[in-house]
Structure 1
Amino acid sequence: MTAQEVRLCGLLLQEHFGDVVEKVGTHLIRSGVLTLRALAHETKLPLDLVKKSLCVLMQHGMCAFGAGRRGPAGPVEYHIICEHILHMLRYPRYIYTAKSLYGDTGELIVEEILQRGQMTMSSTVKTVADRLTHNMPALFAPEGQSMDYSEVVSAFSRLVETHFLQRCPPMASAGSSSSEAVNTPLPVVTQPTKPEDHPECYRLPYINLTGQGKRRRSSEDGEAEQRAAKKTKTDNSERGDEGIYWQVNFQRFHLHFRDQAIISAVSCKLDQTSSEIVRTMLRMSEVTTPAHAAFTQALSANEIFRALPFSYNIARPILDQYLTLLVNDPMEFVGRTGDSGGGMYVVNLHRALANLARATLESVVQERFGSRSARIFRLLLRKRHLEQKQVEDFAMVPAKEAKDMLYTLLSENLVQLQEIPKTPDYAPSRTFYLYTVNQLPTARLLLQHCYKTVGNLIERRLYETKENKRLLEKSQQIEAILASLQATGAEAAQLTEVEEMITAPERQQLESLQHHINKLDSSENQVDETIFLLESYINSTQAPP
């Protein structure tokens, strides 16, 4: 765990859960594994606060526990799962993907589960139906009309069928010493496991949910609403999903992001029809292909032809030509593995990730050091090892400029220098000095720079918000007053009077602040896309064959 990753994890924990959870989580990251008593002693926090912080982290799958060094008879030890903390960077992307695939209902389902870590199906359906009912415009939802539970259940079922949601694994025993374990008031605390270790993680329980979402009640109906909420909690056992909690399957979202990146790259390199063929191949094998597989399952040309969308109207000879073009392309996104069924084709996932990472590195070099440096960088990637004179000749760059560019790239660790002596004494006059680019270490270096960049963006956003805290609180109070007046049917003059409580300079300052925060948020999302590509490439090189 590098210093930049620890810093970024601390910033994410502080932003989402507060200072206490951030202090506990950061200390666990630095210490590795600790018992509850040791953690409370070293952080100098009350034991109760440490327990609650661990509950929050385990509820969101960011912390796990197990038997300690003394075995089952010893105290329970806790450790942080840093990878799941970094997933918080992609929460907006997960939600947007669910919206694009399954509409507003899928968006709210994923948002609610991400916000709470894990939920039962019945409570998720009820919460989402209530939110959709409340947000329904009066034009499309006349008075008394509400969102039916069955529609939310259908969206939830589709998310589970496509593996975007999965059951939380059953709670694992951490030893016999329960005095050190966290007595959590949360519904369940589980240790994250792989889906293949929990074979029923995609099986939907049988629940009998009937009804519709409820609109927000007025203040005089508060007691009745509380009684209804209590009744709903007692009815959970009748719905058949008591103790069955669901969480977001981050790995499945990441596979979807990887597939979309490959499709986009094929579209930019060739054309839209080629990308649609690759999309069809990925869609046909998205559930059956293991997460770390180097290739998708082999598909025959006949199967691909039958699965293509009818709107493209691609004839079989045209499809064969496109497949040949994809196989012969230097990027090697698609490979051929056999001749049965008109030819067997696969998508080369690891090769595609390597090419995407390579394009990212080239883009970074071009943006930071110019097009000539990028030309030298691409040349070294292609030729592997070159002397300085060869670089000058192949890149067609003057000797002085090539020397300066090579030394600049060398100082930034983007290019490495390899010495090959002719004699054992390593005399400079009898030694070859070859420049080379090692793509994997360079990708790791760029990944650390990306972590640092995202941390700087988060700190800047938090600083901007803190500096304008008073103005933001005033704006929120006025918006709340306006909402309450509009709900009671206030006159236009009264609404205008409340709006004028914010002066023109304050309104201009608010607009400028919102513009800056939006730019910082957009920058975070763009840098996270680069982080995802580099992480996927690095993980693919470390995956077992």
Structure 2
Amino acid sequence: MAQALLRLCCYIIRDDFGPIIEEVAKVLLQKGRLPLVYISKFSKKSVSKTRECLFVLIQHNLVYWTETREGSRNSIHYSIDQNEVLARVNFGIYIKYANEWVRHRGADEITYYMLLNGKGTFNGFIEDRNISKRTNKYKELKMTFKKIVERRYLTPVRITDSKSAQDKASEAEQRELAKVTNFIPTKKQMAEVKAKLAAVTDDDSVATGSKRKINFDSIERPTKQQKGDDPIDENQYYRVNYEKFNAKSRNRQIVEFVKAQINQSASIIAKVVLDIVDDEKPNDVESYAISAQRIIRSVPIEKTDLFNQQMQSARRGVTREILIKQYLDYLVEYDDILRKKDENMGGMYIIRYNEICESLKKEIFEDVIMEKYGFKGVRIVRLLYEKSKLDEKAIVNIDESFRSSPKAYRINERGFVQIQEVPRSADRAPSRTFYLWDIDYKKCYDVLLNNYHQTLANIHQVRFDYESGASKTPRKERKRRCITTIE
């Protein structure tokens, strides 16, 4: 694990749980999977104190445990998930936009309770708020809780959730191999088992926390229920589904990107399309196909005034349907925001999430370059990205501003641009060597992400220093600590 990422994870845990639990979590972040005795030894805490810290981390979904067979006895190993730790940075965003994304009042209160406790039940939430079951607020919150569960913002907690994804995959692989052979499996058998496990989709028989099976495909078209039918188990434990909230946050950034790059009308249509495919898995590479007629019907009525104004300024004969189709075609042409699949039902459109996310990352990177190195820096970066490996002479022939600009060397110092040496002789003399300039955006994203982690860690460190009375340190020392590494 990178040093900046390790510092950030430790500071996040200290901020939420205190320094004692931070020391236990730091051992797991540095050493990996360990039994209780070794965690206690490395953290220099008693076994009972270490066990209590692990209970807190397990309750908040940060630590996984699994029981393994070692000789004649069973041993329990613990491991920590750094992605769960980093997800805590976005908790404020989840609570802020919960009502907007779930489209029901009280969603922010339920989300806050679940994030505060790690896991919880609906009865526990009602008791924590001291709400009587005879009031209207109880009925409203119960309906909100039902909507949150149906739309997968909360997921039920199962016994198998105590195991990490790596342990689950390993156990599933062992079970499949036991069905194939009792001896050492061959390479072909291993490949077949891995292909079979990779093709397995989510099991619908897994408990969802409901007294009856919830049909997720008909969430927006609810059927009439029988009187007294209550699909939500109030004593079932739930936790917040980070992937769902992250997907909604991603969709919000896509809408803002479309609004900044095109206009508000295009962002309205993009938001409608993203809301239609909202019930999919958040990690899908692309969405299912959506017809143009369905998109036109789904555009809210209150948004039509904007289209009416544009139709009045357009030529005669342009209807609202034609205008929306023109925007859909433009979204297909512009940066692959949408992709047209076929011409059925006026056109079928899909969303390529990976391509849109690449455009978002590229825009963020170029914004950073613009802020730090100006327009010349952006020109150099784009030139190297389009032309690939070039020497300094070729770059000067294409862009004369490179001759008098030291910005390329400053960009290289930050790790964004790489230089490859191509010697013309065996002695590798510098005078007889080509120096090819190149840029890899994926490596640049990693550099930005590492700088982001280091900056957040420095901000936490400065705050902890001030809270612990470090403000008495000399002013020059405090200023040095406040300097972030994003420069």
**Which category describes the TM-score, using the shorter chain as reference length?**
0.7 to 0.9
Alignment of 1:338-349 (within 5 A): 338-349=342-353
Aligned pair partner of 2:364 in 360, 366, 384:
360
Change (3 A) 1:41 1:161: same
SS in 1 for 2:404: helix
Aligned pair partner of 1:391 in 395, 401, 411:
395
In 2: Cα distance, 1:197 partner to 1:49 partner: 38
Are the equivalent residues in 1 in contact too, given 2:11–2:457 (CA < 8 A)?
yes
Alignment of 1:24-423 (within 5 A): 24-68=24-68, 70=70, 73-101=73-101, 102=103, 105-128=106-129, 130=131, 148-171=137-160, 196=202, 200=206, 202-205=208-211, 241-242=234-235, 244-288=236-280, 290-313=281-304, 315-329=320-334, 331-401=335-405, 404-420=406-422
In 1: Cα distance, 2:433 partner to 2:112 partner: 60
SS in 1 for 2:390: coil
Q: Bigger shift: 423-432 or 40-49?
A: 423-432
Post-superposition shift, 1:71?
A: 7.2
Structure-2-length-normalised TM-score: 0.76
| Structure 2 unaligned regions, length at least 5 | 164-199, 213-231, 308-319, 472-481
Change (3 A) 1:434 1:47: same
In 1: Cα distance, 2:201 partner to 2:458 partner: 35
Amino acid at match of 1:359: E
In 2: Cα distance, 1:420 partner to 1:339 partner: 51
Are the equivalent residues in 1 in contact too, given 2:209–2:237 (CA < 8 A)?
no
The superposition leaves residues 377-424 of structure 1 with CA deviations (integer Å, 9 ceiling, x where unpaired) of 1222233333223333434405132xx222221121110123456677
The superposition leaves residues 247-300 of structure 1 with CA deviations (integer Å, 9 ceiling, x where unpaired) of 000010000011111111001000111111111111111212x33322211112
In 2: Cα distance, 1:195 partner to 1:73 partner: 34
Structure-1-length-normalised TM-score: 0.68
State the partner residue of 1:181: none
Are the equivalent residues in 1 in contact too, given 2:152–2:241 (CA < 8 A)?
yes
In 2: Cα distance, 1:245 partner to 1:307 partner: 35
In 2: Cα distance, 1:149 partner to 1:195 partner: 37
In 2: Cα distance, 1:163 partner to 1:195 partner: 17
Change (3 A) 1:201 1:462: farther
The superposition leaves residues 440-492 of structure 1 with CA deviations (integer Å, 9 ceiling, x where unpaired) of 111111111100100111122223333399xxxxxxxxxxxxxxxxxxxxxxx
Are the equivalent residues in 2 in contact too, given 1:365–1:374 (CA < 8 A)?
yes
Aligned pair partner of 1:462 in 461, 464, 467:
464
| Structure 1 unaligned regions, length at least 5 | 134-144, 175-193, 207-238, 470-519, 528-545
In 2: Cα distance, 1:447 partner to 1:107 partner: 29
Change (3 A) 1:411 1:95: same
Post-superposition shift, 1:197?
A: 5.7
Post-superposition shift, 1:113?
A: 0.8
Alignment of 1:376-525 (within 5 A): 376-401=380-405, 404-420=406-422, 432-467=434-469
The superposition leaves residues 72-95 of structure 1 with CA deviations (integer Å, 9 ceiling, x where unpaired) of 943110001111111111111111
In 2: Cα distance, 1:418 partner to 1:70 partner: 50
In 1: Cα distance, 2:77 partner to 2:252 partner: 39
How many percent of aligned residue pairs carry the same amino acid?
A: 24
Amino acid at match of 1:293: D
State the partner residue of 2:478: none
SS in 2 for 1:64: strand
In 2: Cα distance, 1:283 partner to 1:71 partner: 53
Are the equivalent residues in 2 in contact too, given 1:299–1:345 (CA < 8 A)?
yes
Are the equivalent residues in 1 in contact too, given 2:258–2:266 (CA < 8 A)?
yes
Are the equivalent residues in 1 in contact too, given 2:105–2:144 (CA < 8 A)?
no
Amino acid at match of 2:125: T
Root-mean-square deviation (CA), in Å? 3.0
